[in-house]
Amino acid sequence: MSMPSFWIQVDDLAARVGTARAPILYDVCCAEAFACGDRVIAGAKWRDLSTLDGWAGEIPADAEVVVNCLHGHQMSQSAVARLRHKGINARVVEGGIAAYIDADGVTVAKSDALPEFYAGPTRWVTREQPQVDRIACLWFIKRFADPTAEILFVQAEWVEQVAVEFDAVPFDIQGTDFSHDGDKCSFDAFLDRFGVEDKALHHVARIVRGADTGQLDLEPQAAGLLALSLGLSAANDDDRATLVQGMVIYDALYSWCRNATAETHNWPAQAASQ
């Protein structure tokens, strides 16, 4: 079977970033250029082009890979040419991250105050039995920060100690960087700390905030999200199962916020033609 085009258009990529259809993303800007930049495509990992033979081995055989550099020139084209030679389905972002940003694709900020999510797998820890806000945070981590992240669930009193022991980032626990602040939720903290400007994600945040803080009139969908989240938690004894199923709920909610808020549903349906 032949590989698809060498290129992926920025609009196509932007529509898939943050969804279950997102490809594996690599940024191969030279180290100096990457250090000077302040944002990366959401979910992307930086890799040194000179070590490609090593990191190419981490790519699953059937994966779809998209590579960017600043403008889609020599660095990313060299990387994709070599990956395709190895039989990997890889493409270049046409115009690079610069064009992707101009197209308002979702990016996240690089900051010394954040874990180096773009460098390698990260580890996060939170309280067991996740519900509204924590499921939203977990979804954000997996879809926008680090698709390879390891998530740990422990009793509330052990979160901070486990974070130290396993070099994990604690969240949704009082006194941590990713937690409630006033009437805002931990999910709001993620969007703020990662510098997310995506309107659909901020719409999701208002729904989460309404559901998690009892402000059910904040957004019409808040009550429904609360019911689904509590029901999901009640239906599962396994936090991993809750996470897997919760990802589907938040994928759907984000897709609705991006693409379907104006759509309505009416009954009765048109009668079948005779």
pLDDT digits (tens, 9 = 90+) for 163-200: 999 999 999 999 899 999 999 999 999 999 999 999 99
Read off the pLDDT of residues 232-264 as tens digits, 9 standing for 90 and up: 999 999 999 999 999 999 999 999 999 999 998
State which residues form the domain around 136. Answer: 123-259
CATH number of the CATH domain containing 84: 3.40.250.10
| 128, 104: one domain | no
**What's 61's DSSP letter?**
T
In a domain, 40, yes or no: yes
245 burial (CB, 10 Å; 0-12 / 13-18 / 19+) is middle
In a domain, 271, yes or no: no
Q: What is the gyration radius of the CA atoms in the chain, in angstroms? A: 20
End position of a domain, from candidates 76, 109, 142: 109
Q: Which pLDDT band, with edges at 50, 70 and 90, does 156 fall under?
A: very high
Is the pLDDT reported for residue 1 higher than 60? no
| 104, 127: one domain | no
Residues counted in the chain: 274
Distance CA 248, CA 142 (A): 12
CB under 8 Å, gap of 24 or more: what pairs does 158-163 form? 159/125, 159/126, 159/127, 162/125, 163/125
Q: How many domains does the chain have?
A: 2
| 31, 147: one domain | no
The predicted model scores a pTM of 0.94
Angle CA 240–202–110, to nearest 5: 75
In a domain, 116, yes or no: no
